[in-house]
Amino acid sequence: MEYLEKTNYTKFKRFCKSLELRNDPKLINDYKKAHAKGEVWPEILLGMKEVGILDMEIYLIGTRLFMIMDTVPNFDHDKAMAELAKKPLQSEWEAHMSKFQNTSAEASADEKWQLIERIYKFGE
């Protein structure tokens, strides 16, 4: 697949994360629907913006999710994730998403999504 993208910012931090979904085609399809345009709860999107997340993409292969998260340059990951967890409806969203994910319902987003180490970048 090809994706043509335009960015409105030049300096940012990028974080990549991964998470495993339950191996159930219906649940995977429902997870995709929950993330379709206009389906993510507005409070969740607002909370992400408030902590400094500029852009986020989630990709799927099989049961494995891969997230790309671009943030403001001075983004402190641990501090922002703790702040995000306290935002309105965040814990309800996490509980709702947990039925799709191969994790516990009580886990926070930061506990579910595992940071991935970058080991190569073209041009460096």
Closest by CA to 13, choosing from 44, 58, 54, is 54
Burial of 79 (0-12, 13-18, 19+ CB in 10 A): exposed
Taken in order of first residue, the domains within the chain and their CATH numbers are: 13-115 (3.30.70.100)
Q: Is the pLDDT of residue 9 over 70?
A: no
Predicted confidence at residue 52, as pLDDT, reads 97
Distance CA 124, CA 9 (A): 21
The mean per-residue pLDDT over the stretch 29-54 comes to 97
Q: What is the pLDDT of residues 56-78, one digit of tens each?
A: 999 999 999 999 999 999 999 99
The mean per-residue pLDDT over the stretch 6-22 comes to 88
Q: Is 12 helix (H, G, I), strand (E, B) or coil?
A: coil
Does the pTM of the predicted model rise above 0.85? yes
Q: What is the pLDDT of residues 69-122, one digit of tens each?
A: 999 999 999 999 999 999 999 999 999 999 999 987 778 888 889 999 999 998
Q: Is the pLDDT of residue 31 over 90?
A: yes
